[in-house]
Amino acid sequence: MGVFNGNLNQLFMILLDVLVIPKDDPVAFTFFTGYMAMLAASIFFFIERGRVEGKWKTSLLVSGLITFIAAVHYYYMRDYYVATGENPTVLRYIDWTLTVPLMCVEFYLLTKAAGAKMSLLWKLIFFSVLMLVAGYIGEAFNPEGGDTTHSVIWGVISAIGYVYIAYTAWFGEVAQLAANSADPVVKRGVRTLAWFVFAGWAIYPIGYMCMPGGWLNVGLGWGSENVDLFYNIADAINKIGFGLVVYNIALTSTASKKAAA
């Protein structure tokens, strides 16, 4: 029994050594904070589904899935980073490949009542995947030492996907459908989400340009620690913020309908 307890204590101490947050490492802190924040947001969105009208339940379900998927990935990314000190690029892009298209699904769900078609959904998903695949190639397959040309080429291709989504949300099909919506709450909500795409998603290119070969890495000497810091902050703002906007739309619309009944 004493040997067993000794081995168990040793294993516990090893786990503590792996998971300790260095006092001077803001990246590790944001990994842990992001994990807990997104897990809490998921629980909140899933529970609050019961308070909104039926047509909004799917939107809140998607919001909960976005933050839950991110929380699961952050659970593994935080341990990977603390143990190795390296950027968990593959895990991060797996997370984004699942969650970013789901964020685009929210635009479709919000404008569906105003006449949004499945073609809009597939276009948004296609350009979001293009944005992510190009970004992954530019970041994960950059030759050792940093090739600025490689970084710029794939960064520009990735930007095409981002510009299309931002344009659609501000001026294109999504914006036009929201303008034609009979629900003023949806109009305001879609515009707020468009701001998230324009300003919130713009944080990711800053992180991308901090990698070896990126403009901020070459010009200002910003390194991989800045990549993870910017990505962690952007994920928390965008994924939780997106969900809270959708939640506010659903709750406000439900309350208005009950008041009119």
What are the structural domains, with CATH classification, of the chain?
Answer: 2-260 (1.20.1070.10)
How far is the C-alpha of 25 from the C-alpha of 74, rounded, in Å?
A: 16
Tens digit of pLDDT for each residue in 84-125?
Answer: 888 888 999 999 999 999 999 999 999 998 889 999 999 999
How far is the C-alpha of 203 from the C-alpha of 111, rounded, in Å?
A: 26
Token representation of residue 39: 């897990």
* Contacts of residue 169, Cβ cutoff 8 Å, sequence gap at least 6: 107, 175, 190, 193, 194, 197, 198
pLDDT tens track, the chain, 261 positions: 444 445 555 544 444 445 566 667 888 889 999 999 999 999 999 999 999 999 899 999 999 999 999 999 999 998 898 888 888 889 999 999 999 999 999 999 999 988 899 999 999 999 999 999 999 998 888 766 567 788 889 999 999 999 999 999 999 999 999 998 888 888 989 999 999 999 889 888 777 777 766 656 655 655 666 788 888 999 999 999 999 999 999 999 888 888 876
Instruction: Give pLDDT, residue 141.
Output: 85
